[in-house]
Amino acid sequence: MSIEITTLLFFLTLVFFLVLGLPLAFVLGGVSVLFLYFTWGVDAFYMVASQMWGTMESFTLVAIPLFVFMAMLLERTGVARDLYRMMHLWCGGMRGGLAIGTLGICAVFGAMVGISGAAVVAMGTIALPAMLERGYDKRMVLGCINTGGGWGILIPPSIMMILYAMISGQSVGKMFAAGVLPGLLLVALTVTYVLVRSFLQPHLAPALPKEERGSWGDKLRAIRAVLLPIGIVVMVLGSIIGGLTTPTEAAAMGVFGALISAAVYRKLNWPVLQEAAIRTFKLTGMIAWILFAAHAFSSAYQGMGAQSLIEGLMMDLPGGRWAIIIVMMAIVFVMGMLLDPVGIMLITLPVFLPIVASLGFDPIWFGVLFVINMEIGYMTPPFGFNLFYLKGIVPPGITMKDIYWSVIPFVIVNIIGMGIIMLFPEIATYLPNTLF
């Protein structure tokens, strides 16, 4: 059987079982092992086992459960509520102020937890009712929460960036540093959009009445309440980027800081620790199985010779190397509408990374573009995770149609941001090149 037919059957089988709704890890691993057996015979199992064992020995992998545990603890300390109160007092006096404050909270909260969804749930519970009561347009509010919730996978520390670093062989510290300026760029572009829209259409995001804006004493007390959790983030990122600790060691420091924060907020008790630990085990177990399956996929992909085939097809595209990057981003964008971001990463990166390297592009820069595309996938219909997180907590009067329509302008803003980073790679590479 020719390599073209084998590759086509391989990917069609993957898509078929994924469409049936079977778990990604078992589809990816099962189909890969099956095709490996028919390609290489029994020896293929030894190759897969060897690669899995190498993954288990990775010290960087330990950072994932630690960052997840830190996220689960911080999520339960009440820090999101205090952050919202601070932004409510400081930003509520201007048009669109609460929406901008919500975006700022999402950026900070995303930096704390490193995963998408936590900020969506927290802000959907706290900020959404408050803004709707004060006359904010529901689609404006939904779009802000949906967009801000996705920043957790871009603004470090980020679980997605750790996975990208492991797959690509890049430094986790460099990836974290690379995410800072692009993250701030996307925040700035989104805030600018909200400001302009609020100025042109004041009824969409009215300013708070004077009696709700608070005194200077209230504002200062609100800042004091969030200094500790923000300090944890600064400590974790500063130690990694400054070269003082490895990501794993910094994650352990973050867990210690989260425990202190929980104690200060009087939430450090057995039920909280138990729930955080169980959710950490579940999420980490899922990631581990997907990683094992990804190694089986990588072995099958290379064993069949599909890599050279796809590289050849990509290289024949008109428009040169930039056309290839644009096509890659378009593929990831479409897949982001349909599949789990972790799965997309593990399916596409073994294909894309050798091509990116052969074209002479910086893998750190490409990683930032890739993660931004994953972020867009979280908020894009029909199957973006953030859409369903949001649907689960909105009032009955808000429909899925409202949620779908709310994301369109914010997706456009994110695509513009990604285009700017493509045109000016230094936005992503400046800090890694300067600090490492």
pLDDT in tens, 329-351: 988 888 777 666 777 787 788 88
Residues 339 and 19: their CA atoms lie apart, in Å, by 9
The whole-number average pLDDT for the span 357-377 is 90
Confidence of residue 306 (pLDDT cuts 50, 70, 90): low
Q: Are 100 and 91 in contact (CB under 8 A)?
A: yes
| Residue type at position 370 | F
pLDDT 10s digits, 88-131: 777 777 888 888 888 887 777 776 666 666 667 777 777 788 78
Confidence of residue 259 (pLDDT cuts 50, 70, 90): confident
The whole-number average pLDDT for the span 61-77 is 76
* 354: pLDDT strictly greater than 70: yes
* 142: pLDDT strictly greater than 80: yes
Question: Distance of CA 12 to CAs 15, 19, 104, 293, 313, Å?
Answer: 5, 10, 42, 17, 18
* 423: pLDDT strictly greater than 80: yes
Task: Pick the closest to residue 339 from 114, 23, 10 (CA basis).
Answer: 23
Q: What is the pLDDT of residue 186?
A: 93
What backbone torsions phi and psi does residue 98 show, to the nearest 5 degrees? -65, -35
Q: What is the pLDDT of residue 421?
A: 95
Q: What is the pLDDT of residue 420?
A: 95
Q: What is the pLDDT of residue 116?
A: 65
- In total, the chain counts a number of residues equal to 436
Comparing 14-23, 109-118, 332-341, 419-428, the range with the smallest average pLDDT is: 109-118
Q: What is the pLDDT of residue 51?
A: 65
Comparing 29-38, 106-115, 152-161, 417-426, the range with the smallest average pLDDT is: 106-115
Please state the pTM of the whole predicted model. 0.76
Q: What is the pLDDT of residue 285?
A: 78
Confidence of residue 205 (pLDDT cuts 50, 70, 90): confident
The whole-number average pLDDT for the span 64-80 is 75
Token code pair at residue 52: 């899995």
Q: Are 336 and 348 in contact (CB under 8 A)?
A: no
Q: Which of 39-43, 142-146, 292-296, 389-393 has the highest mean pLDDT?
A: 142-146
Cα dihedral 381→386→389→391 (10° resolution): -40
Q: Are 292 and 29 in contact (CB under 8 A)?
A: yes
Q: What is the pLDDT of residue 194?
A: 92
Q: What is the pLDDT of residue 422?
A: 93
Confidence of residue 54 (pLDDT cuts 50, 70, 90): low
Q: Which DSSP string corresponds to 394-428?
A: S-TT--HHHHHHHTHHHHHHHHHHHHHHHH-THHH
Q: What is the pLDDT of residue 369?
A: 94
Q: Are 7 and 306 in contact (CB under 8 A)?
A: yes
Confidence of residue 363 (pLDDT cuts 50, 70, 90): very high
The whole-number average pLDDT for the span 125-141 is 83
* 263: pLDDT strictly greater than 70: yes
Beta-carbon contacts of 282 under 8 Å, excluding residues fewer than 6 positions away, are none
* 425: pLDDT strictly greater than 90: yes
Confidence of residue 190 (pLDDT cuts 50, 70, 90): very high
Residues 351 and 346: their CA atoms lie apart, in Å, by 9
The whole-number average pLDDT for the span 396-421 is 89
Q: State the chain's mean pLDDT as an integer.
A: 80
